[in-house]
Amino acid sequence: MVRRWWRSTAALRAAVRGPADFVLAARIAAFVVAAPRELARADVASYLEDLRRAPRPHAGDRDASQQRVVRLRNGVLSLPWFWRRNNCYVRALVLCRFLDAGSGVVRIHIGIEQRETDAHLHGHAWVTVDAKLIEGPEGVLLERLREIPVHARR
């Protein structure tokens, strides 16, 4: 039992490189647990605006911040308790919440795709900084997506 638990934490243990990473990984895990409940209580635009205003862990530059957040987020989402939450929406929300983009504008995008061979819509989420894609679907897929605009309520 202990051996199985230890193996299931291997990706997270590899992602954590020091005490500060451990703290950020714990914050990311808490965010992943709380986000669905918080989002259910607020409208999407207000929730996303709150994410944009939240304090972020300071980083030397955007690339370093992105690499750290993605590394720790992926480690957290690799844990069996989080497998069901490992989707593009949660990954985008975590990056939007914790990425230190300096003076750049971090934005989450939500879009839908209807495939010709499938009658169902497929949702996607991606993140940009100053309108430049930093994580999300490949360019070919982006061309087939119809973005759903999310505007703050007044």
Helix, strand, or coil (residue 124): strand
CA distance 153 to 85: 27
**pLDDT at residue 7, as a whole number:** 80
12 pLDDT higher than 70: yes
* Full-model pTM: 0.86
CA 135 to CA 127: how far, in whole Å?
A: 5
Higher pLDDT: 141 or 33? It is 33
What does the pLDDT read at residue 35?
Answer: 93
Which of 91, 77, 92, 85 has the alpha carbon at shortest distance from 128? Answer: 92
| Average pLDDT, rounded, for the chain | 86
pLDDT band with cut points at 50, 70 and 90 for residue 71:
very high
Q: Which of 51, 18, 11 is nearest to 35 (CA)?
A: 51
In contact, 100 and 62? CB cutoff 8 Å: yes
